Chain A
Amino acid sequence: MKRAIETREAIAVVSSGVRLQGTYHRPARPATEEKRRVGVLFPNSGVLPRAAGGDAAVYWADWLAASGYPSFRFDLPGLGDSDRDPAAEGIDFQAHADAGGYAPWLAAIASDLVERFNLAGVIVVGHCSGAVTALFAAAATRRIAGLILLDPYFHVQQDSEVQTALNNWNKRVFRSLDGGWAARLKLREAGVKVLSGLRKIYHRLNGSRLLVRRKKLPGSANLPLIRCWNQLASAGVPMLILRSPSYAPKAGGFDYIDYLQRRSPRGSRMSLEPVEGASHAFAERQSREAVGKCTERWLQACFPIPKCSGAQDSEPQAAEFANAILGTDRNVR
């Protein structure tokens, strides 16, 4: 059994006696001795293993490595191949993630990678609760030089009663439809149509509520997380937010991104890009490609790969792009 193949290597970071398993995607272009580049680090998307839904994280890591960025995917404690047993420790994943409980581990991984691979820093690509962990971790270590956040959320998870009731009803119907495929085909199709109609009514009613641009945070806001955001925005840490339509602000809901953008100090380097047609998982081929392109373009603008001495600057537009999307000079922190 080989630990490494041409493009990938199974690597581990040991922190506080806990072995954290990861995969290193080797960059296509070799590093130069004198000029260091940034690496890209993907923690878990929720509780999924480090490959993420539809193996999307593998796709993105391959993509960025081919563009010259060393890329790493890691399992946090109790997830994927890493150590720890959350069942024995009684850890509730969601509450732990929302409270920043995984951030010290992510910060430890980032520090280890910077040292081991002689990197200029690490850009963390966090998805959903991975984005929450990324924000907490970036506030704790300067080794994390930038963030790419896919569908981040800034509230403490709590279900809307109506949505929960509808989902539970959906699940019950779905369960009764699941199994006995051929015999129940017609019943299932009828069920899907009824549910489609119900969902449409729900969303139409929901959408008729007024869109209020509130100035105050709702009671469910994750205040420590918002403090981390403010800290990073003030420090000028570059952040790219990629948002699927399912996470776009809904009428009657609170738009955290808009709120944070409006309150961000001058010099903050945050940009938002919607990913049309994507589901929250970003697993479909089209949305995987869109995320790959956005991420690569943003990295080349904010963290260009140092060129060997004598090499021609083939992408002079990168600096202009950085200024356009960030509104600032990219060399200023």
Chain B
Amino acid sequence: MDLQADRLNNPVERPGYLEFCGAHLYSVLHGASDPFARVLLAGPFASERYFSYVPRVRWARFLAARGIEVLRFDYRGVGESTGGFDRMSFTDWSEDVDFLAGWLKNRSPHLPLVLHGHELGAILASKTFASGLGDALLLWSAPANANDVLRRPLSRHAFKNMYARKSASDYIRDLEADGVLEVEGYEWSHRLWRESFTFQMPDDTEAGGRPVKVVNLEGTPASLLKGSAMGYVVSHNLDLSGLYTDNLEWMMAALPALQERQ
């Protein structure tokens, strides 16, 4: 698999900004000539974004080279998007996904739309899917709820600051008392923490018969997408071609319109 060739064969890669709720969502549209499906990629939580960024770009290029248009983006207050992270909530980011799924769908309503969520993005994409938007749902490393997502950076924070002799539970107490806790450069609000307990995956029954695939990345090379326990990118040269191919095959098999094309 030559991903550089994928990129050069698909020169239509458009980064830009989409205005939403007073902020600008940085988005990259990986265009495909004569696309036969579209995919929206919803990525991980803010501090986890970096570990899987390049593999996510490669995945988008892989799909675009095979005729599937892809939109990836940064949530409000994160990365290249504008907005204050400290003012955001999981509900706000869920609205980001709703908005972008609608935007992508409206580009060509007759084409099937696949929602793909990774880590926090899995919950967000599932919620959008449960609301009726999207023709198929693909989830990588889906957590049970948003609190599971926050635990990992919080553990890292306690570990990196071990000289402070405070455990993660001490930091949680600080957060509840002070109303704010800075973790790896992001200021978590008390509201975000409280919301994380109740912000969870919707019931399976809400898929309404539409195809859903849940991929557990643990125990595979792709488990490295969550970074090291110390908070570093594990490998810059991660070969995930097997994962990409398997998931593309599932998409092709899952959607009738794609099957015809196949």
Contact = CB atoms under 8 A, between A and B. Distances in A.
A binds B: yes
Interface of A: 1-5, 7-8, 10, 19, 21, 23, 46-51, 53-56, 58, 78-81, 83-93, 167, 170-171, 174-175, 177-178, 181, 185, 188-189, 192-193, 195-196, 199-200, 279, 281, 283-285, 288
A1 B185 contact: no
B229 interface: yes
Among B80, B155, B187, B233, find the residue whose CB has the most chain A CB atoms closer than 10 A.
B80
Interface stretch (B118-126, B202-210, B236-244): B236-244
Contact of B3 (A47, A80, A88, A193): A88
Contact of A5 (B17, B58, B236): B17
Given A10-B17, A55-B78, A178-B155, A47 B236 contact: yes
A173 to B, nearest CB: 9
Contacts of A58: 79-80
Given A192-B162, A285-B182, A49 B79 contact: yes
Interface of B: 1-4, 7-8, 13-19, 24, 26-29, 46-47, 49-50, 53-54, 57-58, 78-80, 82, 85, 148, 151-152, 155, 158-160, 162-163, 165, 167-169, 182, 184-187, 228-230, 233, 236-239
B236 A86 contact: yes
A188 B155 contact: yes
B14 A51 contact: no
Contact of B18 (A1, A47, A88, A89): A1
Given A3-B16, A78-B54, A171-B230, A84 B4 contact: yes
Given A51-B79, A90-B237, A81 B185 contact: no
B17 A1 contact: yes
Contacts of A51: 79-80
9 contacts: A3-B16, A7-B82, A47-B236, A51-B80, A81-B28, A87-B236, A171-B229, A185-B168, A281-B185
A220 B4 CA distance: 34
B7 A85 contact: yes
Contact of A283 (B14, B49, B85, B185): B185
B185 A2 contact: no
A183 to B, nearest CB: 13
A2 B162 contact: no
Nearest to B151: A181
B230 A170 contact: yes
Contacts of B229: 170-171, 174-175, 178
A196 B50 contact: no
A53 B79 contact: no
A204 to B, nearest CB: 12
A170 B116 CA distance: 34
Given A5-B17, A49-B79, 6 more contacts: A2-B16, A48-B53, A90-B237, A93-B237, A171-B228, A281-B185
